[in-house]
Amino acid sequence: MEIRVENGRVAHPFFVEIDSHSGKMDGDATHIKRFLSKLINVFADTDAAKDYLRRHGDTLIYEVYEKDIPEANGEVRFCSSITYPGKIGNEYFMTKGHFHSRPDTAEMYWCIRGKGYMLMEKEDGEHELEEMHPGRVVYVPGYYAHRSINIGNEPLISLPVYPGDAGHDYETMEERGFKHIVVEKNGRPVVIENPRYGRMRG
Ligand code: PA5
Ligand code: NI
């Protein structure tokens, strides 16, 4: 269904359909696909990432269907976020993660499929990890960077909802990274300090 925008605001009710198995959003949503070749530096073990790339070819780590709602104060933006299962070295597949450009804005994530975590981290590195499973809604307060991590063996699908003017600040995490990462140890997910914290670009 088309969105009717007038004077930079949504001017008419609309709906979308989201397939709860695949996470696919119908209609004219923006479809973002994030492949491993563009995420090498996102993972703590860059050698493992390059090796994975050599062995498996370019791999879709996550994708997002984002409805093109104006990025205006008063609007609500939402998307469908799908993170695939897998690991680079012992670190689980995950999203890049970000602060919001308007850092005080919150976000809620409604998980509809899979098993994982929402890692949330403040500027000073203080962190919270919340489990994500179908039926759970995780509230990410303002000033927390956030990333989804898939610890299961099926796609982790959630529906993020956030203020129209929140924006995405990817720069901080590309440069500095999260202070914590989630890795598998003895078959279980554990949080450890990121060995490349503060120098993600190499
Ligand atoms: O706004 C959000 O937090 C989500 O819609 C994310 O953009 C989505 O999960 C993809 O993650 P990232 O933006 O970190 O690439
Ligand atoms: Ni966000």
C-beta of residue 33 within 8 angstroms of C-beta of residue 63: yes
Closest ligand 1 atom to the C-alpha of 162? 1
Q: Average pLDDT of 154-171?
A: 98
Given this model, what pLDDT does residue 201 score?
87
Summarize pLDDT for 18-66 with one digit per residue, the tens. 999 999 999 989 999 999 999 999 999 999 999 999 999 999 999 999 9
Q: Among 62, 81, 100, 161, which residue has the most ligand 1 atoms within 8 Å of its CB, making it the best to mutate?
A: 81
Q: Average pLDDT of 95-100?
A: 98
Report yes or no on whether pTM surpasses 0.85: yes
Closest ligand 1 atom to the C-alpha of 158? 9
Q: Give the burial class of 85: count Cβ atoms within 10 A of its Cβ; 0-12 exposed, 13-18 middle, 19 or more buried.
A: middle
Ligand 1 lining (C-beta closer than 6 Å): 64, 79, 81, 95-98, 107, 146-148, 160, 162, 168
Q: Give the burial class of 157: count Cβ atoms within 10 A of its Cβ; 0-12 exposed, 13-18 middle, 19 or more buried.
A: buried
Per the rule left: phi > 0, alpha: psi between -120 and 50, beta: everything else, 38 is alpha
Q: Write down the residue that tokens 């982790």 correspond to.
A: 156
Given this model, what pLDDT does residue 1 score?
76
* Residue with CA nearest ligand 1 atom 3: 160
Summarize pLDDT for 5-15 with one digit per residue, the tens. 999 999 999 99
Given this model, what pLDDT does residue 166 score?
98
Summarize pLDDT for 123-142 with one digit per residue, the tens. 999 999 999 999 999 999 99
Closest ligand 1 atom to the C-alpha of 96? 14
Query: What is the residue-averaged pLDDT of the chain?
Result: 97
* Residue with CA nearest ligand 1 atom 8: 81
Radius of gyration (Cα) for the chain, nearest Å? 17
Per the rule left: phi > 0, alpha: psi between -120 and 50, beta: everything else, 143 is left
**Which SS3 state, helix, strand or coil, does residue 1 take?**
coil
CA distance 157 to 17: 14
| Ligand 2 mean position, distance from CA 97 (Å) | 8
CA distance 7 to 130: 39
Q: Which of the ligands is closest to the CA of residue 65?
A: 1
Checking if the pLDDT of 202 tops 90, the result is: no
